[in-house]
């Protein structure tokens, strides 16, 4: 489905958009890009990460593209697609990198012309840094690529997304409904970020820095967070995330009660259960990283 | 203060006791050991980790020791010291590895004969495995050694502990009161374990294993936990830990409220604060690991 003559247009040349560009260029594809940041485009041109790029007046580049990839934040993407779909080539395919799907993918499919297909996907890869200068296509090697089709998508569109995930070099490519995706991401990614942020904000304990070991550092690594992107992602998944926070808070309180009541056997059971469950995550990890 | 003729007796040849033995032997000291596990003693003798060792009837080894190191769990240590202090050489010095200090160090100093000095210390090093076979003295290279003297300790005793920390190869050696130590450990170590365990126990989410990335794995690594040791440590530090859990739960609820109320500016402030604070922990880490 994807062939070497196809031309890719990436809007939003940040950490992910930049990594997509690098991987596509490495595989011999033509890559155009647009970004609001002049420096990002200049850097990408100088380093041969893209073939052509611009911060404005890039209609002619859009018109040549067979594939349009949005590396924008979800709400910015919606605005951009609304304004620019008039330039899209008939039959072109569009995908994104949004971390939340319900309310995004279905909304886009609602206003997009039937001349194009929007197939949503989520590259579950990131870093605590941003921008094309920090982009690295190697982060995909240990990451998941999740395709989230709706009933509006064709089997051709899904096949395209799968091939794109392969070209980008993802370890694992799977398919979920919008709802399944957002529920999964609410627990695996969003709740963990809420926990890390809240732990870091629990009193000012920065005077304890000299006593911290790997446990604390690992647990709070993701407390360094892009406040604009993540507040947007959290709002888009509000109901699911609030439920996840409540479930976690209830479990935390369950532990607290056992401690207060000096219920040693109860605490031990919780430790044994967490140890058993966590082992499953280990094995998979080791296997996949071989 | 510590000289090459001194003989060390380690009771409890587990992960930490074993690492102490390896480091001391490597530095040319004579090391005796006792453990309830025959296999541990045999393994240590075969691998030249100790000079002599036994599972019982080891009075003659204790009597030769200038330094006694307890690698036992806190409550087991108290029983062992009560039973065995009659064999201690006059003037010998005793230290431990206990992760909680109040109610342990002061209790030992209460019943120990004035012929000996007990100077408590805490090697802040560990792994998600146990036993002498997994012991590794290299874990001390990036770890903190905390000396927790009381008014019963002499400056000689404190000097001894500092030299021991240096011989063992700790990155950083500091001194705290029993109370300061337990408050610090309640936040930096115990609360983080409660969080990891509770997250792992929040519903059975093991079907999500294929979607988890480094964030979730890092955050839950310490959910693999020795249930006997940690339930003991938590009970010993109950009041402090309950307070830390409550502070964290309040901060978690603070975040939840902002999300429910769609207070984007409030969420952003929390993200910015956590990012700023976490950066302090990064810099120190990088500097220390050079």
Structure tokens at A69: 């990839």
pLDDT tens per residue, range B96-148: 999 999 999 999 999 999 999 999 999 998 777 789 999 999 999 989 999 99
pLDDT band at A213 (very low <50, low <70, confident <90, very high): confident
User: Which residues fall within 8 angstroms of residue A110, CB to CB, at 6 or more apart?
Assistant: none
Q: Which of A228, A238, A240, A274 to mutate to test the interface with B (most CBs of B within 10 A)?
A: A274
Contact B16, B97 (CB under 8 A): yes
Contact A137, A27 (CB under 8 A): no
Distance of alpha carbon A69 from the chain centroid: 13
> Which residue, among A201, A244, A266, would best test binding to B if mutated, counting the most B CBs under 10 Å from its CB?
A201
Q: How many CB atoms lie within 10 A of CB B154?
A: 12
Q: Does residue B67 surpass a pLDDT of 90?
A: yes
Distance CA A155, CA A181 (A): 19
Q: What is the pLDDT of residue B266?
A: 98
Q: Give contacts of B 44-103 with A, CB under 8 A.
A: none
- The order of strands in the sheet holding B121-124 is B121-124, B144-147, B172-175
**Span A233-253, average pLDDT:** 98
A287 touches chain B (CB under 8 A): no
CA distance B283 to A163: 41
Give pLDDT, residue A207.
Answer: 87
- Whether residue B79 contacts residue B18, with contact meaning beta carbons closer than 8 Å, is answered with no
| 3-state DSSP assignment of residue A114 | coil
Q: Residue B264, SS3?
A: helix
Alpha-carbon span A128 to A139, nearest angstrom: 12
Determine contact: B260 vs chain A, CB below 8 A.
Answer: yes
Residue A27 CB burial class (10 angstroms; 0-12, 13-18, ≥19): middle
SS3 A123: strand
Task: Give pLDDT tens digits for B143-173.
Answer: 999 999 999 999 999 999 999 999 999 999 9
Across the range A20-45, mean pLDDT stands at 97
Domain boundaries, chain B: 7-176, 181-280
Question: What is the predicted ipTM?
Answer: 0.91
Asked if A173 has any chain B CB less than 8 Å from its own CB, the reply is no
Angle at B241 between CA B236 and CA B245, to 5 degrees: 155
Q: Are residues A216 and B190 in contact, defined by beta-carbon separation less than 8 angstroms?
A: no
User: What are the tens digits of pLDDT across the range B242-265?
Assistant: 999 999 999 999 999 999 999 999
| CB-nearest partner of A208 from B143, B184, B262 | B184
Distance between CA atoms of A179 and A6, rounded to whole angstroms?
32
């Amino acid at each position: 489905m994807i062939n070497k003559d196809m031309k890719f247009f990436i809007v939003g040349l940040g950490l992910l958009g930049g990594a997509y560009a690098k991987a596509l260029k490495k595989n011999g594809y033509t890559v155009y890009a647009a970004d609001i940041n002049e420096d990002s485009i200049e850097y990408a041109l100088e380093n041969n990460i893209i073939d052509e790029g611009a911060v404005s007046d890039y209609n002619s580049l859009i018109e040549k593209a067979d594939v349009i990839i949005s590396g924008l934040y979800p709400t910015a993407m919606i605005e951009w697609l609304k304004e620019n779909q008039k330039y899209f080539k008939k039959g072109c395919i569009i995908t994104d990198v949004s971390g939340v799907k319900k309310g995004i993918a279905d909304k886009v499919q609602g206003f997009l012309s039937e001349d194009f297909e929007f197939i949503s996907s989520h590259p579950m890869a990131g870093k605590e840094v941003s921008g094309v200068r920090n982009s690295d296509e190697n982060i995909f090697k240990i990451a998941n690529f999740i395709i989230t089709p709706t009933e509006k998508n064709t089997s051709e569109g899904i096949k395209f997304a799968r091939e794109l995930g392969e070209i980008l070099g993802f370890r694992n490519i799977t398919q979920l409904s919008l709802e399944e995706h957002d529920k999964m991401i609410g627990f695996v990614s969003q709740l963990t970020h809420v926990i890390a942020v809240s732990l870091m904000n629990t009193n000012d304990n920065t005077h304890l820095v000299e006593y911290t070991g790997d446990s604390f550092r690992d647990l709070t690594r993701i407390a360094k967070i892009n406040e604009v992107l993540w507040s947007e992602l959290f709002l888009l998944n509000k109901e699911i995330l609030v439920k996840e926070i409540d479930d976690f808070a209830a479990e935390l309180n369950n532990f607290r009660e056992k401690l207060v009541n000096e219920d040693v056997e109860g605490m031990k059971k919780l430790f044994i259960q967490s140890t058993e469950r966590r082992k499953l995550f280990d094995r998979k990890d080791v296997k996949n990283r071989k």
